[in-house]
Chains A and B, each alone.
Chain A
């Protein structure tokens, strides 16, 4: 559920981490270092958006995700591939009241890399 709230920049990070516990991966095109949204919601169900802002336009990257039904062949391991660029993010947290975002701490540098699939080939799924 939470993953749906992010744009590709954040999702590519998640893919790489998830990959550590999976056994078969496929490559996907993704974007890294783009501004993405965090959805805020209070107890009454009012929602608003706080942006996690990047100072770069973003980069096309190849990410990896666990193979799903219908995917073709995958591979058993992943490793960090070619560097694509870097950016800085400033983060905002949801404020206590609707329509409020609290500008965050010092910028965080994010490095964008392609993910290379390695290891043995996994069979296609049914």
Chain B
């Protein structure tokens, strides 16, 4: 039986409020269907740290989130939820800023072979060993509680090294994490003069088959005008730059005004106050947006312009062992 499922069932059993209950239900459904699940993600980024991130799961689920200069929004099946873009440290539930925790690790893998992810957690190089064109680097954090092993290869043709594998080798108290490996395959030049890894396999500790595969289907540059249209706040009845015509009955959940508005099939407009208070509109604290900006530029050592890049359709595929 698939070991993660066993452990997950044990954790969830008898605890209706367990945070992984929904995840378990999804895995059980997938095992029952016998088909690996695939999701498609599309990301647009700009140098200011603004972005739009679309998630699609066949056949019916789509959900888009975006962070722009003024508005942050989520576009779902029948609603658009609008927040103030800069909410500081007190992020209200549902604010799309948390989506960064989903897409940024993916981008880091494709673009930097996971080194951005490693570098954010550990920077002390403990050893470097060479064997021909291959190298291995051991890195850990200042306290020695988290350690990585990075395998790579120097390419004489490209005149640079490429990450081949990253493994977490030490992390006390996290037996589920120690031994996790990421294998980076199919590095290729990108249009901006850098390199991108097209395929990343993720392994759990002790497993010989990947539990998930990430595929980069493409990255293209888009114009400033197109990017502006792509992150524009969707409005009922308007045409969205990605999804096309939006229904006029789309509900607007306006967290800034503290109300939800919609027009029903008869053309009657409804306005209801939201139960919770409107989100704060500004804060002097460092926002996710500013953090994103810093990481984006510090990682772009190639010097090429990475303007309005569209990382198109990062596909995940989960490979489950059916019990």
Given A6-B17, A57-B81, A104-B23, do A42 and B174 touch, yes or no (CB 8 Å)? yes
Decide if A76 is an interface residue (CB 8 Å cutoff): no
Given A18-B16, A96-B180, A107-B61, do A43 and B172 touch, yes or no (CB 8 Å)? yes
- Interface of B (DSSP majority class): mixed
Measured between beta carbons, the chain B residues less than 8 angstroms from A37 are 93, 98
Docked pose: A88 CA to B15 CA in angstroms: 22
Which of A6, A100, A108 is B26 in contact with, Cβ under 8 Å? A108
Docked pose: A87 CA to B16 CA in angstroms: 19
Within 8 A of A (CB), among B26-49: 26-27, 29-30, 33, 37, 39, 41
Residue count of chain A within 8 Å CB distance of chain B: 51
Measured between beta carbons, the chain A residues less than 8 angstroms from B168 are 96
Decide if B121 is an interface residue (CB 8 Å cutoff): yes
Measured between beta carbons, the chain B residues less than 8 angstroms from A44 are 145
Within 8 A of A (CB), among B62-87: 62-63, 74, 76-79, 81
Does B26 lie within 8 Å of A92, measured CB to CB? no
- Interface of A (DSSP majority class): mixed
Decide if B270 is an interface residue (CB 8 Å cutoff): no
Measured between beta carbons, the chain B residues less than 8 angstroms from A106 are 26, 29-30, 33, 37, 57
A74-97 interface code vs B (CB 8 A; 1 in, 0 out): 000000000000011111110111
Which of B20, B30, B98, B260 is A49 in contact with, Cβ under 8 Å? B98
Q: How far is the CB of B148 from chain A (nearest CB, A)?
A: 10
Given A56-B78, A96-B168, A108-B29, do A90 and B318 touch, yes or no (CB 8 Å)? no
B211 closest partner in A (C-beta): A102
Measured between beta carbons, the chain A residues less than 8 angstroms from B318 are 105
A1-42 interface code vs B (CB 8 A; 1 in, 0 out): 011011100110110011000000000000100111110001
Docked pose: A117 CA to B30 CA in angstroms: 35
Docked pose: A107 CA to B60 CA in angstroms: 9
Does A17 lie within 8 Å of B16, measured CB to CB? yes
Q: How far is the CB of B272 from chain A (nearest CB, A)?
A: 9
Given A51-B98, A57-B76, A96-B180, do A88 and B25 touch, yes or no (CB 8 Å)? no
Docked pose: A50 CA to B74 CA in angstroms: 15
Considering residues A5, A38, A96, which has the most beta carbons from chain B within 10 angstroms of its beta carbon? A96
Does A2 lie within 8 Å of B18, measured CB to CB? yes
Does B60 lie within 8 Å of A57, measured CB to CB? no
Q: How far is the CB of B66 from chain A (nearest CB, A)?
A: 14
Docked pose: A51 CA to B74 CA in angstroms: 12
Given A99-B120, A100-B105, A101-B102, do A57 and B57 touch, yes or no (CB 8 Å)? no
Does A57 lie within 8 Å of B78, measured CB to CB? yes
Given A43-B174, A106-B30, do A3 and B17 touch, yes or no (CB 8 Å)? yes
Does B19 lie within 8 Å of A5, measured CB to CB? yes
Q: How far is the CB of B291 from chain A (nearest CB, A)?
A: 9
Does B29 lie within 8 Å of A90, measured CB to CB? no
Docked pose: A54 CA to B61 CA in angstroms: 9
18 A–B contacts, CB within 8 A, in A order: A2-B19, A35-B93, A35-B94, A37-B93, A43-B174, A87-B77, A88-B60, A88-B77, A90-B57, A96-B168, A97-B117, A98-B121, A101-B98, A103-B316, A104-B23, A105-B27, A107-B57, A108-B29
Q: A31-B275, A91-B22 are in contact. List 18 more A-B contacts (CB 8 A).
A: A35-B94, A43-B172, A50-B102, A55-B63, A56-B77, A88-B60, A90-B26, A90-B61, A90-B63, A99-B120, A101-B98, A105-B23, A105-B29, A106-B26, A107-B26, A107-B57, A107-B61, A108-B29
Q: Which residues of A contact B (CB under 8 A)?
A: 2-3, 5-7, 10-11, 13-14, 17-18, 31, 34-38, 42-44, 48-57, 87-93, 95-108
